[in-house]
Amino acid sequence: MEKHVVVIFPHPDDEAFGAAGTIAKFREAGVPVTYLCGTLGEMGRNMGNPTFATRESLPEIRKKELQDACKVMDVELKMLGYRDKVLEFEDLSKVSDHLKGFLDEIQPSLVITHYPEYAVHPDHNALGAAAIDAVSKMEESIRPTVWAQAFMRGYQEILGKPDVVQDIRPFVKTKVKTILCHASQAQGVLGNVTGEQLTEENMEAIAMEHFKEETFYTWNFKSI
Amino acid sequence: MKPIDMNEVQQHIDEFAGKKVFIHLETTNGAYANHVNEKAYNVGAFIRNAQVTYEHGKIKGAGTAYRVGLKTENGWVYAEGLNAWEMDDENRLLMAGHDREGRLMVALEISETAF
């Protein structure tokens, strides 16, 4: 049984597509979950379909979507205030210290983040690396386990099969509801993820059918 | 945003001419272009809050594809593929080009205050 789970992803909706089923499972078991969300997805390309957001209104819209999504998952939300797309150009040692401040305070038993270099989006790779760096700086006695998520094309050929496979079928409703909170993004991202032609009407059904598991790699902190 | 009306947009471009303005200029095909399609390239560029003063600007084009060029003292600001616009509640001229799925492909925005 985990004590407290901290999820660290850069964009509003990363939690929904990547880990909402796993999060729902932890919440049902009574485990507190905190989401440290790096940016507000300010530079997102999806503006709703038909478009209802502009480049300038998108951050506020996505912030609201994120807050709604966290309500659905029943998790605590902390927004870190970085800017979408340029996270990798920040001083990552400062980002790591920033994250460590939260971890020192929360003292989680598990951290979920992206697998650096195997998570496609540069923001994913950068924040995942900063998160792992932050955890590595914690005393071994209180160091949480890290589950890192990879989804780059061909990742399993290099990394092998993920050792953590969460069957999320019992929680797919919560996951899909969480995804749909991200109304500006849901249809566009779901279209990419499922490879289906989605409409407002069919996307919920297709999403319910699509998501079955969420997978992670337990990070190996070599003892120093 | 609404479909571009050349006359209306031109009027607003004229209003900002000769003033010190902030520009947001961007083009992108998204960080997942190559992930979704192996043959695609990830391409994008943006500049946010570039300060320029343009002598004059024009919108050209027709139908669903417009171009805007702003002539500055030493060069140009240019965007192609614009099809939507609005003046937002902070009096900023927002122009964008969206694809069939509503995704932003290009944006050019002009404001007297920083974005």
Number of other CB atoms surrounding residue B32 within 10 Å: 17
B103: which chain A residues are within 8 Å (Cβ-Cβ)? 45-47, 49, 188
More confident residue, A58 or B32: A58
What are A's interface residues with B at a Cβ cutoff of 8 A?
Answer: 43, 45-51, 54-57, 85, 120-123, 152-153, 187-188, 191-192
C-alpha closest to that of A120 among A81, A154, A78, A69: A154
- pLDDT value at position A223? 55
Q: Which are the contacts of B65, defined by CB distance < 8 A and separation ≥ 6?
A: B80, B81, B82, B83, B97
Task: Give percent of chain B above pLDDT 70.
Answer: 100
Predicted model pTM:
0.96
pLDDT digits (tens, 9 = 90+) for B47-79: 999 999 999 999 999 988 999 999 999 999 999
Phi, psi dihedrals of residue A5, rounded to the nearest 5°: -110, 130
For chain A, which domains are there?
Answer: 5-218 (3.40.50.10320)
Indicate yes or no: CB of B102 within 8 angstroms of CB of A49. yes
Q: What is the pLDDT of residue A192?
A: 86
Q: Are B101 and A191 an interchain contact pair (Cβ–Cβ within 8 Å)? A: yes
Average pLDDT of every residue of chain B = 96
Six-digit token pair at A85?
């797309």
The strand ranges marked E within A97-151 are 110-114, 145-149
- Amino acid residing at A128: G
- The pLDDT, as a whole number, for residue A26 is 98
Task: From chain A, pick out residues whose CB is under 8 angstroms from the CB of B114.
Answer: none
CB A74 within 8 A of CB A88: no
Of B36, B38, B104, the CB nearest to A55: B104
Supply the CATH classification number for the domain B2-111. 2.70.180.10
B93 and A CB contact within 8 Å: no
Q: Which of A14, A47, A55, A203 to mutate to test the interface with B (most CBs of B within 10 A)?
A: A55
Per-residue pLDDT of A22-68, as tens digits, reads 999 999 999 999 999 999 999 999 999 899 999 999 999 999 999 99
Partner residues linked to B2 by β-bridges: B85
pLDDT at A121: 97
Q: Which of A43, A56, A120 faces B35 most closely, judged by CB atoms?
A: A120
A23, A73 in Cβ contact below 8 A? yes
pLDDT along chain A (224 residues), means of 10: 96 98 98 98 95 98 98 98 98 98 98 97 98 97 97 96 98 96 93 86 90 97 68
Q: Quick one: pLDDT at residue A174?
A: 97
Q: What average pLDDT does the segment B98-114 reach?
A: 96
Complex ipTM over 0.90: yes
Residue pair A97/A39 in contact (Cβ under 8 Å)? The answer is: no
Chain A residue with Cα closest to B101? A49
